[in-house]
Amino acid sequence: MNHFLTEQEIKIRDLAREIAETHIKPVAAKYDASEDFPWEIMNILAEKDFFRIYIDKEYGGLGMGVMGLVIATEELSRACGGISLGLAGTALGVFPLLLAGNDEQKKKYLPDLAAGNYLGAFGNTEPEAGSDAGNIKTTAKKDGDSYVLNGAKIFITNGAKAKFYTITASTDPTKGSRGASIFIVEDGTPGFSYGKKYEKLGIRGSATCELVFEDCRIPQENILGKEGMGFIVAIRTFDRARPGVASQAVGIAQGALDYAVEFSRTHMRGGQAISSYQSVQAMLADMATQIEAARTLTYTVARMIDAGEKDFAKGSAMTKLFASKVAVDVAEKAVSICGSQGVTLDCPAQKILRDSKITEIYEGTSEIQREVIARHLIKESASIK
């Protein structure tokens, strides 16, 4: 369908699709099995300017906003949902800087991030705090012209591979969410180390690990915005990042459909291709319709964000909720179409299904998204009366 993409957006889409087919698809199974980090793909993405997409032009970016990132992430995820996270996870780490950083901070870090000289990551999740920055236990205590960080972050995408981290920490635990702040922490800072590396069900081509802070001293100029702004910046970061997760889910679902259609055309049952069976055709039709609906919703919200709309949190939550559900449902149908082959490790469909599940969990579970949507609906209803 025509989504009225600009000429620049079409070029990014086509280039991302070419990289996905030529470079990612042939090695997706290898990285899934080994859980190694795909530096070779990251280097290609950097060479082709993919890390510039969402960064403002004045700092070396292409200025294509959330929509550009969504288009690229979808196409890369079509070949591998895990490998695409090297780019998407960096964007998540950079969003707090784009939202709350001053010009000096942006000039210091954004040009290198745009060039793909190093990756970024966002450190928010803790054992007792997921999307809720108000429950974080990591602390940042002011000491002269520095802050001293203590605590740990878990399940961090690009952990131990990134060199640029934005970290939420409490500068005043007595204030709850109003005491949260966000800091830039560079790889190699004394007191900053990496803990457990997680072995995962899916997205195994993505690095996920624990971050540990033990009397980690960082300069006061590394705080983003002011003390107490961390919760607001974190929420705004998630609101902008969730269409990216949705686009990952759409790409994963599209990859599942692509494989299911090819499999159904080329595999025979009872002397005829299984694509000739009405039950299979019905599943393929439903899969395609679900994907198109999820893609349209995701693109619409991405456009809203880039257009400067103020109230897009509900739509952002909807994109992630719906697209992630579509990804899991479509991947399950793909496995069913493949029959007994679908549950063997040689079949790409089972990997796609494993990758799809993460989209319902990270950056706010589906349950969290429903809460966000419901709160906005209730607030909107109350404002009408």
Residue 200 banded pLDDT, cuts 50, 70, 90? very high
CA dihedral 232, 175, 383, 99 (to 10 degrees): -10
Report whether pLDDT(22) > 80.
yes
> Cα(206)–Cα(87) distance, rounded to whole angstroms?
10
Q: Could you report the per-residue pLDDT of 67-81, keeping only the tens digit for each?
A: 999 999 999 999 999
Note the pLDDT of residue 186.
98
Q: Which domains, ranges and CATH numbers included, belong to the chain?
A: 7-114 (1.10.540.10), 120-228 (2.40.110.10), 231-380 (1.20.140.10)
Q: Could you report the per-residue pLDDT of 169-195, keeping only the tens digit for each?
A: 999 999 988 999 999 999 999 999 999
**How many CA atoms lie within 13 Å of 300's alpha carbon, on the beta-carbon side?**
14
How far are the Cα atoms of 188, 214, 269, 375 from residue 163, in angstroms, in the given order?
A: 8, 18, 52, 37
Report whether pLDDT(132) > 80.
no
- Give the tokens for residue 336: 């069913």
Pairing mode of beta strands 268-269, 272-273: antiparallel
Q: Is 58 a catalytic residue?
A: no
Average pLDDT, rounded, for the chain: 96
Question: Could you give the percent of the chain with pLDDT greater than 70?
Answer: 99
Pairing mode of beta strands 120-123, 164-170: parallel
Report whether pLDDT(221) > 90.
yes
Tell me what the mean pLDDT of segment 149-161 comes to. Answer: 97
Residue among 309, 363, 371, 380 flagged as catalytic: 363
- Give the tokens for residue 235: 């929420």
Note the pLDDT of residue 288.
98
Enumerate the β-bridge partners of residue 149.
140, 216
Note the pLDDT of residue 131.
63
Note the pLDDT of residue 153.
97
Report whether pLDDT(25) > 80.
yes
Tell me what the mean pLDDT of segment 47-65 comes to. Answer: 98
Q: Could you report the per-residue pLDDT of 330-346, keeping only the tens digit for each?
A: 999 999 999 999 999 99
Helix runs in 38-136, H state only: 39-47, 65-79, 85-100, 103-114
Q: For residue 302, what are the contacts with CB-CB under 8 A and spacing of at least 6?
A: 65, 66, 67, 69, 70, 243, 247
Give just the sign of the alpha carbon dihedral 24, 27, 33, 35. negative
Q: What is residue 160's three-state secondary structure? A: coil
Q: What is the DSSP letter of 199?
A: P
Cα diameter, the chain? 79
Tell me what the mean pLDDT of segment 253-273 comes to. Answer: 95
User: How crowded is residue 222: how many other Cβ atoms within 10 Å of its Cβ?
Assistant: 19
Report whether pLDDT(2) > 90.
no
Report whether pLDDT(134) > 70.
no
* Predicted TM-score (pTM) of this structure: 0.96
Q: Could you report the per-residue pLDDT of 347-385, keeping only the tens digit for each?
A: 999 999 999 999 999 999 999 999 999 999 999 999 876
- Give the tokens for residue 244: 């990216």
Count the helix, strand and coil residues of the chain and give each as a percent rounded to the nearest 5: 60, 15, 25
> Cα(151)–Cα(128) distance, rounded to whole angstroms?
12
> Cα(96)–Cα(85) distance, rounded to whole angstroms?
17
Note the pLDDT of residue 384.
78
Note the pLDDT of residue 129.
75
Note the pLDDT of residue 127.
86
